[in-house]
Structure 1
Amino acid sequence: MQIRTLGKNGPQVSALGLGCMGMSDFYGDRDEAESVATIHHALDRGLTLLDTADAYGPHLNEELVGKAIKDRREQAFVATKFGLVRNPAEPLSRGVNGRPEYVRAACEGSLQRLGIETIDLYYQHRVDPNVPIEETVGAMAELVQAGKVRYLGLSEASAATLERASKVHPIAALQSELSLWTRDPEDNGVLDACRRLGIAFVAYSPLGRGFLTGAIRSPDDFDADDYRRSSPRFQGENFTRNLALVDKVKALAADRGCSPAQLALAWVLAQGKDVLAIPGTKKRSRLDENLGALDVTLSSADLAAIEAVFPPEAAAGARYAAASMAHVGR
């Protein structure tokens, strides 16, 4: 297992983590027994970073992770998030809340559901435009002082917000989407800001919500309740154009003797020693495939070939629907 450091003099965790969201939400069928077995298999293979959030389910995913690590707490580095608020009566609704009193209440809820005394890495899931980041991070810092949280992170924050937050308390990690088909952090200055401030970059959806695996060939491949059915990049002409890009990735992977997923993950990890990836899966077989990316070393020629067939902004369609896009980059 490759090891990466979170932030300046921060903890060391596995370069590949496990995104647990899909085990409980968004991606169709769920199998709790297989999901728990997948988390256990990840820990057995030396993967330490487990990523969840109170919004996944909502709440169900934290409960699942808590069940899985009940007797294996010392092996797991648990990252969870707060601040993205969902209404169970309106599954597609999203709100944000960064008020200090909410930060404290959300942390208590996460600790209880996870069944742990301390959260290893606590992220603000989305920045609240109505609450100064200094107030939110100040409340998060109080959780560190109280021993309820070890390290702080932000998710989908802008470079300017990172600068302001870092003046209140050290930020160990910034989580944002990064993959062959989402290169925003390279263009909007976020990756540069992370490096300037000594913040690790944690890439979520490094496989393009499964699309870069090459296994998805039609929108009909999704279950009826799979949110990708309504995601812009999986619609109509966008789907067709993006599928053509994936087929080029498949050809490059075949030349390298690896799977498309392994090539895509190796590309993310090749972006720097300060970059980690948390591909999500709910099956042990897919986890093993993803871990195979650690054996793929990309040369400068390989990276150039990938760039040639999948340059920045090549993907068709926004990465989220308009309402969700409004919550990123604040």
Structure 2
Amino acid sequence: MEQKNGSSFAGFILLGFSDRPQLELVLFVILLLFYIFTLLGNTTIITLSQLDPNLHTPMYFFLSNLSFLDLCYTTSIVPQLLVNLSGADKSISYGGCVVQLYVSLGLGSTECILLGVMALDRYAAVCRPLHYTVIMHPRLCALMASASWIIGFSNSLLQTVLIFLMPLCGRNKLDHFLCEVPPMLKIACVDITMNQTELFFVSVIILFIPVALITFSYFRIVRAILRIKSAAGRRKAFGTCGSHLIVVSLFYGTAIYAYLKPNNNYSQDQQKFISLFYTVIIPMINPLIYTLRNKDVKGAMKKVFWKDFGSK
């Protein structure tokens, strides 16, 4: 069989949910609503973090980074998905597939690292409250956030180059709704054992090193909280960390399941719905988790949005 490089293709066909046409219209409406809520929620977090001086702290600096990241992440995937769900054309150009894989994987990898950095921030806030502003000074926060983005996109560049160097032998149908590493590996016409081993090794580093940092941080945080004599103080400390723990559990749980579980242990439909969860649902509910459980954010919303409304 003649080996054709992916660059000879006009593009790829994203099969998505085309085997369930009755589901496509329902998914289109649901995902459109989710995308709108994602834009509104994350834009609100970013706006509040900029406008309210009370939120000019390391915690909200990292939170606004996370919201911007989620905003970009879902935008790199959902508009193309909505176009594919709305008509018979399921194609994506070769260049569009490269960009989508690079950007979405870079943003996802960055979020893995950033959530670990946020756990260190919570550790400093709870376990070193008197030295918090000295430890988490703006330059260090900017350095850690920048390092998260650089490492995340460096990993994405490596994976993207390795994927698109593989010969595809004329195969251009992806049984997925986005250009993602696992479905791209399935259309290669060469032995992908080395690629799978490399992807597993890198995924372990990108996922489990932050998880180790989070585990260490929250082990120390729980010990510190249990030593607080005031019940109100313990509730405040748990409330400060609870939102981050919920986000961490949702994100890492689905990411580990998607990238580290053997492919033969779950169906392609399972992979698609898992991908929907961490590419669409999690970016939408993150702002809800932080705003519903956070008095500072709710107070900032009242000051920033309802102050102008009340003055009219």
Measured against the shorter chain, the TM-score band is under 0.3
- Taking structure 2 as the reference length, the TM-score comes to 0.25
Q: Which has the larger radius of gyration?
A: 2
Instruction: Give the number of the structure whose residues are more often strand, by fraction.
Output: 1
Which has the larger share of helix?
Answer: 2
